[in-house]
Structure 1
């Protein structure tokens, strides 16, 4: 559980069951949910307009890559975590070293990565 103000987590995930599991973990962690977004256009709108403390971005969202959302969050100075069932080494150069969760990930790995991202101390070489 995080202390202090409730943090807002943008969830970008197109698989309904995975999204619900992530939402449960985010709520258990004491955070608020922004979204979830299951389409790139919705995710971009939220990334541009919503109050967000951290983003959790599935790399492949309904057949589109989520990198434009990550670009917006980076421009706004908002940390983000990629999640993927694919090889994270296929990330574009500009995102290599970003925190990445390999699916399936455990609650403990999620909690650890989220804590680091919210604290701004994410080890950019860590993949859990």
Structure 2
């Protein structure tokens, strides 16, 4: 008997606990597992460099600054990620212009679509229209 395939593991960087919990629930519904939740730049950067995960969701503005250093660390490991922000693409530097960014609030369907796209190798920009989270 074969073991069931492992669920893709998602690293979440989000400094608002309730939003992180909601994302974790959405991920479970979508067939993903939460690998780790970081709420600060320091914790996020440490896990980005050393953790075991398949993709990441990065809130742009977090405790300690922005998630851009975390994005750089993840990119160095060749792991896909999605930015999320209450401001949409506003404030995302040109360096990251080709990366997915979903605007908060987003729906479970919008999150699922963005994750599928980055797992399939597409890093092209998409700014999902705000929707009810």
Normalised TM-score (structure 1): 0.91
Q: Give the superposition deviation at 1:120.
A: 1.3
Rounded Cα–Cα distance in structure 2 between residues aligned with 1:42 and 1:63: 10
Maintained 8 Å contact 1:89/1:96: no
**Residue ranges of structure 1 left out of the alignment (5+ in a row):** none
Match of 1:85 in 2: 86
After TM superposition, list the pairs within 5 Å mapping 1:1-128 onto structure 2.
4-122=5-123, 124-128=124-128
The secondary structure found in structure 1 opposite 2:75 is helix
Rounded Cα–Cα distance in structure 2 between residues aligned with 1:4 and 1:20: 24
Aligned length, in residue pairs: 125
The secondary structure found in structure 2 opposite 1:88 is coil
Rounded Cα–Cα distance in structure 2 between residues aligned with 1:87 and 1:63: 20
Higher helix share: 1
| Aligned-pair Cα RMSD in Å | 1.5
**Residue ranges of structure 2 left out of the alignment (5+ in a row):** 129-133
